[in-house]
Structure 1
């Protein structure tokens, strides 16, 4: 799968830039300034996600109206981040917490679609945060980077 391998390499390059940084608003600002919606990196990641969905190796599961899938487990090449991608349209997903934080890349497929109120770009949740991920005003793909792959779904 050459597309999947290229996607992995793009994420290796990205995670190298964020490894060891605190997951906070400063990182969110830096990601939006450096790799925001007008950047080549953003365009490349979005294009790769669209290809992955089309080829069936992204968002290959469905539950509760959300298409999702973990494409890469946390490993050393990815600087201990796992990679998940979801496809959501006007829906709130299951409530969960992020023991070590979460970095989200928001890629609207409908103009003006938001994720947790955020437009296209990056959103960073700090360690011990929690939310019910919500896409509103249309459809979006959201890429999640989870340190050590840690996520805890609320029962």
Structure 2
């Protein structure tokens, strides 16, 4: 995102490039394939988002909370600017997070930072959980940022 500093507004504009493309599409494996084709891990948009996350974390306004070895935070609440998606970003290093379910699905952007970091077994790129799915988010093999797009911001933490 440099040379200009990343701000929440600039970050939202960057993410809107993605949400403008996926708005209204089913949250499924076809969406995952579309995202990996349109915004690949070796592409400019992926690099711009990853760099913006690094800068925002360093600036202190992203991943500004920590619990159980996971830095996290809701960066953008759901609203019209991102077609109803919320944006959460976590920083995880060889750790499993709390179990939760996705009433409307979850769209994950996996950005490895160190080692061969994998999120729920998946490397750099996009991974999609469909509506009604659940998991205990796990990063293994290193450190990564994971950006979550949640339709309508819907997430339900469980006690599993």
Give TM-score scaled by structure 1 length. 0.97
Offset, 1:111: 3.5
Which digits, 9 at most, give the CA deviation of each residue in 1:78-124, with x for residues without a partner? 10000000000000000000000000000000131100000000000
Task: Please name the residue that 2:45 is paired with.
Answer: 41
Say which SS state the counterpart of residue 38 (structure 2) adopts. helix
Whether 1:150 and 2:154 are equivalent positions in the alignment is: yes
RMSD over equivalenced CA pairs, Å: 1.0
Cα distance, 1:13 vs structure 2: 2.0
Q: How many residues align?
A: 155
Separation in structure 2 between the aligned mates of residue 142 and residue 136 of structure 1, nearest angstrom: 12
Residue of structure 2 in register with 1:53 after alignment: 57
Q: Could you tell me which runs of 5 or more consecutive residues in structure 1 were left unpaired when the two chains were aligned.
A: none
| 1:3/1:51 contact within 8 Å kept | no
Off by >4 Å, runs of 4+ in structure 1: none
TM-score by length of 2: 0.94
Listed as ranges, the matches of 1:73-152 within 5 Å are 73-152=77-156
Q: Distance in 1 between matches of 2:33 and 2:6?
A: 32
Gaps of 5+ in 2: none
Contact 2:6 2:55 (8 Å CA) reproduced: no
